[in-house]
Amino acid sequence: MSLRTWPRLVTLEGGEGAGKSTVLAALRGAFEAAGIQAVYTREPGGTPLAEQIRGLMLDTQHEPATDETELLLAFAARAQHVRATVLPALQRGAWVVSDRFTDASYAYQGAGRGGDAAFIAELERRVVGIRPALTLLLDVPVDVGLARMRGRGAADRIESERNEFFERVRQGYRDRAAAEPARFEVIDAAQPAEAVAAQAVARLRALIAATAEGAA
Ligand SMILES: Nc1ncnc2c1ncn2[C@@H]1O[C@H](COP(=O)(O)OP(=O)(O)O)[C@@H](O)[C@H]1O
Ligand SMILES: [Mg+2]
CATH architecture group of domain 4-215: 3-Layer(aba) Sandwich (3.40)
For the segment 156-181, the average pLDDT, to the nearest whole number, is: 94
**CA-closest residue to ligand 1 atom 8:** 19
Does the annotation place 14 within a ligand binding site? yes
Tell me the best of 16, 22, 97 to mutate to test the pocket of ligand 1, counting ligand atoms within 8 Å of each CB and taking the most: 22
Domain ranges of the chain: 4-215
Return the minimum-mean-pLDDT range out of 23-27, 140-144, 160-164, 204-208.
Answer: 160-164
Distance 54 CA to ligand 2 centre (A): 14
**Residues 74-86 pLDDT 10s:** 999 999 999 999 9
**CA-closest residue to ligand 1 atom 23:** 17
Compute φ and ψ for 130, nearest 5 degrees: -130, 155
Angle between helices 48-58 and 67-81 (to 10 degrees): 160
**Residues 93-122 pLDDT 10s:** 999 999 999 999 999 999 999 999 999 999
Contact 201, 26 (CB under 8 A): yes
Ligand 1 atom closest to residue 195's alpha carbon, by position in its atom list: 1
Residues 6+ apart with CB under 8 A from 121: none
User: What's the CA gap between 29 and 33, in Å, rounded?
Assistant: 6
**Residues 146-165 pLDDT 10s:** 999 887 888 888 888 899 99
Q: Where are the alpha helices (DSSP H) in the chain?
A: 20-34, 48-58, 67-81, 87-91, 102-105, 117-123, 142-149, 163-179, 193-209, 212-215
Distance 39 CA to ligand 2 centre (A): 16
Classify the C-alpha dihedral 56-59-61-62 as positive or negative.
positive
pLDDT of residue 1: 63
Does the annotation place 21 within a ligand binding site? yes
- Residues touching ligand 1 (Cβ under 6 Å) are 14, 16-22, 148, 189, 191-193, 196
**CA-closest residue to ligand 1 atom 9:** 19
